[in-house]
Amino acid sequence: MTTKSETEVGAETRPIIAVTMGDAAGVGPEVTVGALADPAVLRLCRPLAVGDRARLEEAARILGLAVDIVAVEGVSDATFEAGRINVIDLGLIPPDLPWGELSALAGDAAYQYIKVASELSIAGAVQGICTAPLNKEALHLGGHEFPGHTELLAHLTGTPEVSMMLSSPQLKVIHVTTHIGLIDAIAKIDPGLVERTVRRGNEALVRAGIPAPRIGVCAINPHAGEHGLFGHGEEEEKIVPAIEVLQADGLDVTGPLPADTAFFLAGRGDYDLIVAMYHDQGHGPIKVLGIEDGVNITVGLPVIRTSVDHGTAFDIAGTGKVRTGSMSEAVRQAAALASVKV
């Protein structure tokens, strides 16, 4: 186990990461405790949970983790050492809340955790946010009509437009559109949105240490439209103009590429980033490679934000069966990205 003296080394430079507990009826409390008890996480950052102390204590008992979960008022009250988890305890979850069941109360609480974390980030008290999964239906039942974390954080931070990036050891994907239907996604895509998305992805990779990212841009239609055989000219109308502007500005951008080969090319190392036009086009390949390895990064916010790339998993919530490594990786990536800016 890491000793206190070891964790104190570099305490002034390790970024502070707010870790939200997510939906209390799902696996959020378990993955949060698992990640914040991980010595590898503590070596990279100073994690501060935002959630419910009693629920985290229950999750620790379920996982069989011997940790001291301490309620604090804020960052200045927290002591970061092995075996201790600091939590800003909002006290919103009753002790009898069932695991694995849809709950408006849990949905509202998940919103409140994000709100507090956003306020901490805007105030500069934390350098990054890592979020455990929330349930979109519960969020709506709790009175908060947002498609998910990405849109919610954009609203809370006053950010007009952000992008979702999924990162795994083998592949990185940024999305032009995310939580909307396919017909609506095609209608929404235009050269300006494609260009802004690519630029956000390029900037994120440069910040992460890739000085000249190689970016492949997916087409909308099969075979990139096959010169008009498929679709109605969407590639030429919506994607090609953006690529021409980006190339003229010196970005290493190629496309539109047939999506069924773009991910293969990226997997063998031809591209550092793939730009997906819609949700499933980008999510599918990442999850095939390993849902436990994927990390969700919101690009374009005034603060670093990462998350696991899985849901609330109501079917196994509260059983101790969940794997917490993905949450540990999400916190580590938040710390790594925030460290560049600290």
Q: For residue 296, how many other CB atoms are within 10 A of its CB?
A: 25
Q: Which pLDDT belongs to residue 290?
A: 62
pTM of the model: 0.84
CA distance 93 to 54: 8
pLDDT of residue 10: 43
Cis check for the bond before 256: say yes or no (omega within 30 of 0).
Answer: yes
**What pLDDT, on the 0 to 100 scale, is given for residue 293?**
63
Average pLDDT value for the chain? 91
Determine the Cα–Cα distance for residues 85 and 204; give it in Å rounded to an integer.
30
pLDDT digits 0-9 by tens, 28-70: 999 999 999 999 999 999 999 999 999 999 999 999 999 999 9
Mean pLDDT by 10 residues, the chain (342 residues): 42 87 98 96 96 98 97 94 96 97 98 96 94 96 90 90 87 93 96 97 89 96 83 94 98 96 92 96 82 78 88 96 93 85 45
pLDDT the model gives residue 338: 84
For residues 99 and 289, give the distance between their C-alpha atoms in angstroms, rounded to a whole number: 29
Q: Which domains does the chain possess?
A: 1-159+301-342 (3.40.718.10), 163-300 (3.40.718.10)
Question: Which residues have C-beta within 8 Å of that of residue 11, sequence separation ≥ 6?
Answer: 46, 80
In angstroms, the Cα distances linking 143 to 100, 215, 225 are 20, 39, 42
- Tens digit of pLDDT for each residue in 188-244? 999 999 999 999 999 989 988 899 999 999 999 998 877 778 889 999 999 999 999
Q: Are strands 252-257 and 304-308 parallel, antiparallel or unpaired?
A: unpaired
Alpha-carbon gap, residue 281 to 193, rounded angstroms? 17
Which residue in the block uniquely carries the two structure tokens 């956000």? 200
Instruction: Output the pLDDT for position 3.
Output: 41
Rounded CA separation 231/150 (Å): 30
